[in-house]
Amino acid sequence: LTGKPFFEVVITKQNIQRPSLLYVPKQLYDQLPRRQIPMIIRSTDKIWDMQYVGNGDHPRFGHGWKNFLCDNDLRAGDGCVFELMKFNEKKIEFRMILLRNEEPDELRAVATSRGSLVDHPI
């Protein structure tokens, strides 16, 4: 992270199932426009166009969120960090870091050789 405002989220079924939205936490939405404007999310190799819906009581990532979920094969338990890189009255830009809810290969190998990690912690 670069020191700019950010928020993290663990993806839940509510983020994935219809209407598939992501609500912006209060700590960040107070800094963002109170209206609907274009937004982009960048990863290291891709950009997604989206709508930020800032009007109303629950600011959220709107149109385009479903494509983002599908393109990244996001599932319940995966984590994302969204860092606010740029914003003005015309556009918002977030950088996204994806954290998969997966066991690293190194731990999987240890678990396989020793049995359950619960029974034999590292």
Residue 95 lies in a domain: yes
Residue 121 lies in a domain: no
Residue 76 lies in a domain: yes
Q: For residues 76-105, give the mean pLDDT.
A: 90
CATH code, domain carrying 104: 2.40.330.10
Q: Which residue has the higher pLDDT, 121 or 76?
A: 76
Q: Which residue has the higher pLDDT, 97 or 30?
A: 97
Given a cut of 50, whether residue 117 has pLDDT beyond it is no
Contact 80, 96 (CB under 8 A): yes
Taking the alpha carbons of 23, 95, 53, 16 in that order, is the dihedral positive or negative?
negative
Distance from C-alpha of 28 to C-alpha of 4, rounded to nearest angstrom: 11
Q: For residues 81-90, give the mean pLDDT.
A: 93
Residue 119 lies in a domain: no
Domain that holds residue 61: 6-114
Residue 122 lies in a domain: no
Domain count, the chain: 1
Give, in degrees to the nearest 5, the angle at Cα 61 between 55 and 66: 140
pLDDT 10s digits, 31-84: 899 999 999 999 989 999 999 999 888 899 999 999 999 999 999 999 999 999
Residue 120 lies in a domain: no
pLDDT of residue 120: 46
